[in-house]
Structure 1
Amino acid sequence: MIQLRIDEILRDRGMNQKDLCELSGLRPTTVSEMVRGVRTSVNLKHLETIMNSLDIEDFNQIIKKVKV
């Protein structure tokens, strides 16, 4: 299973979802669904926007594969 690590990254940086929405310009619902992992597909443009907003260069920093 593939998971996004957005929640971990925000926590490590002392940020919350609202901060990410303000930085990225994405809708709160979009950010919330990505953080909670309830989306079954990820819009690559949204992922790129979040990575740019959090100054992340490597996909390995934001995506992880979890054994189920």
Structure 2
Amino acid sequence: MINIRVSELMGKKKLTQKALSDLTGIRPNTISALWYGTAKRLEIEHINQLCAALDCSPSDLLEYIPDQNKNEVDEF
């Protein structure tokens, strides 16, 4: 599972969703989806804008947490 850490980084910078939207130009609905961890995809340009606004690297935005119930990787 991928954990989106935008809300944590926003908290450290004391930014509201609206403020982050204004800083990045990313739609408020998209910022909200990132905040709640419900976003299904993330554009490379959004990653760039978020890193600039939050003064972080892409690895700070996303965290990989292995699934507890799966021991094997699904084959494609």
TM-score, L = length of structure 1: 0.83
Q: C-alpha root-mean-square deviation of aligned residues, in Å?
A: 1.3
* Structure showing greater Rg: 2
* Greater relative CO (CA pairs within 8 A, separation 6+): 1
For this pair of structures, how many residues does the alignment match? 67
Match of 2:4 in 1: 4
Identity percentage over the alignment? Answer: 25
Question: Any gaps of 5 or more consecutive residues in structure 1?
Answer: none
TM-score, L = length of structure 2: 0.76
Q: State the alpha-carbon separation in 2 of the partners of residues 59 and 53 from structure 1.
A: 12
Question: Any gaps of 5 or more consecutive residues in structure 2?
Answer: 68-76
The runs of at least 4 consecutive aligned structure 1 residues that moved more than 6 Å come to none
